[in-house]
């Protein structure tokens, strides 16, 4: 038996035992590579566990519920503030990683109720704040399953909800940038780029990497996503830059690599310049497509500061070491 076959067998047997041991589990659904036919020896298992007792899985002192999945050698317990759900991330001694999201049954009941209204075009009956909140949550759940899902266990009719969810949301248009969203993203990038260069001159390398370079990369990614859906509204833009080689603008993946920070502080300043050059190209294309304004004066100010102040200063400081 090869490694992949053995891994799949361990997972399938573990899930059966997991469901059998934890009677409160009403449904179990997987997403990601397992459900898309792309599972390999390095893939993890992304699971949605529908239960009336999500709190039972969040105790740091008791993880006996996870024993059927294998001997756990690492466990992380946390709440995803964005989605408002409880999560566990596990690693077994065989190297299998499990990412479990615990969905309270009342959440599923809300989804079912909302889809029932949507089917009859009666969403307007809900107060605006409630309609928007539930609608956003349901759309977010659709985003997690739209590329494929596999139902391992179902006692609540999940198999009927998923097809309707796909039918209801698959024709939605992507969210194109507007003037305000573009301006905020654009200014975030250039201000972060300037701050990053200043912080580097002060020796704040680690803080810079975790904070300002992170801000810049997020805005680079946002510009790539916007350009991709502008060129082709049907393109599948993956979460947080995943599979960028497939959907990103031409050659952009190769051009991102030289923007990554490393252990040479002078080269870090040049990384900022390369990031700036790439962002200038992306933002200019978006500005042309949508008629957005660019702050060329501030762009030039930042680049001039890096080239003529930060880099010479860094060279002088390093020469004294």
CB burial of residue 108 (10 Å; 0-12, 13-18, 19+): buried
Instruction: Determine the Cα angle at 126 with ends 125 and 127, to 5°.
Output: 120
DSSP designation for 23: T
pTM (two decimals): 0.81
pLDDT digits (tens, 9 = 90+) for 118-175: 888 888 888 888 888 888 888 888 888 988 999 999 999 999 999 988 888 877 778 8
205 vs 20, higher pLDDT: 20
- Tell me how far apart the alpha carbons of residues 199 and 211 are, in angstroms, rounded to a whole number: 11
Residue 61 CB partners (closer than 8 Å, separation 6+): none
pLDDT band at 42 (very low <50, low <70, confident <90, very high): confident
Residue 293 tokens, joined: 């304004």
What pLDDT score does 121 carry?
86
Q: Which domains does the chain possess?
A: 3-169 (3.30.460.10), 179-319 (1.20.120.330)
22 vs 318, higher pLDDT: 22
- Could you tell me which residues are beta bridge partners of residue 79? 86
The mean of the pLDDT values for the chain is 90
Residue 51: CB atoms within 10 Å: 21
What pLDDT score does 300 carry?
98
DSSP designation for 151: E
pLDDT band at 1 (very low <50, low <70, confident <90, very high): low
What pLDDT score does 321 carry?
64
Mean pLDDT score, 211-222: 93
The answer to which of 99-113, 117-131, 302-316 has the lowest mean pLDDT is 117-131
Q: Which helix (H) or strand (E) holds 95?
A: none
Sheet (strand 72-80) strand order? 72-80, 85-92, 97-104, 45-51, 25-31, 149-154
DSSP designation for 285: H
- Could you tell me which residues are beta bridge partners of residue 150? 30
What pLDDT score does 279 carry?
97
Residue 239 has pLDDT above 80, yes or no: no
Q: What percentage of the chain exceeds 70 in pLDDT?
A: 99
What pLDDT score does 181 carry?
96
How much of the chain is helix, strand and coil, in % rounded to 5?
A: 60, 15, 25
pLDDT digits (tens, 9 = 90+) for 7-16: 999 999 999 9
What pLDDT score does 209 carry?
84
What pLDDT score does 134 carry?
83
- Tell me how far apart the alpha carbons of residues 36 and 30 are, in angstroms, rounded to a whole number: 10
Give the closest residue to 85 by CA, choosing from 122, 49, 31: 49
Residue 202 CB partners (closer than 8 Å, separation 6+): none
Mean pLDDT score, 213-231: 94
What pLDDT score does 193 carry?
96
Mean pLDDT score, 49-77: 94
Mean pLDDT score, 224-253: 85
What pLDDT score does 175 carry?
82
């Amino acid at each position: 038996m090869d490694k992949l076959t053995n891994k799949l067998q361990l997972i399938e047997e573990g899930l059966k035992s997991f469901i059998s041991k934890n009677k409160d589990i009403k449904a179990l659904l997987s997403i990601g590579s397992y459900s898309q036919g792309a599972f390999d020896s390095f893939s993890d298992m992304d699971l949605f566990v529908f239960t009336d007792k999500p709190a039972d899985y969040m105790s740091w002192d008791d993880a006996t519920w996870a024993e059927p999945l294998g001997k756990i050698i690492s466990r992380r317990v946390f709440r995803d503030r964005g989605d408002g759900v409880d999560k566990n991330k596990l690693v077994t001694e065989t190297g299998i990683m499990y990412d479990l999201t615990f969905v309270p049954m009342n959440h599923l009941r809300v989804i079912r109720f909302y889809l029932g209204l949507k089917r009859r075009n009666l969403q307007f009956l809900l107060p605006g704040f409630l309609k928007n909140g539930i609608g956003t949550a349901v759309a977010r759940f659709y985003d997690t399953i739209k590329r494929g899902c596999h139902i391992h266990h179902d006692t609540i009719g999940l198999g009927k909800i998923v097809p309707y969810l796909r039918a209801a949301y698959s024709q939605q248009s992507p969210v194109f940038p507007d003037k305000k969203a573009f301006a905020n993203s654009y200014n975030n990038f250039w201000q972060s780029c300037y701050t990053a260069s200043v912080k580097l001159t002060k020796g704040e390398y680690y803080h810079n990497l975790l904070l300002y370079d992170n801000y810049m990369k997020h805005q680079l990614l946002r510009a790539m996503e916007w350009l991709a859906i502008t060129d082709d509204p049907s393109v599948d833009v993956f979460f947080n830059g995943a599979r960028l080689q497939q959907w990103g603008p031409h050659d952009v993946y190769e051009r991102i690599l030289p923007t990554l920070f490393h252990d040479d502080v002078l080269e870090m300043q040049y990384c900022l310049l390369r990031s700036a050059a790439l962002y200038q190209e992306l933002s200019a294309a978006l500005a042309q497509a949508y008629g957005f304004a660019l702050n060329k004066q501030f762009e030039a100010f930042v680049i001039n500061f890096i080239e003529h102040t930060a880099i010479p200063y860094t060279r002088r400081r390093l020469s004294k070491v």
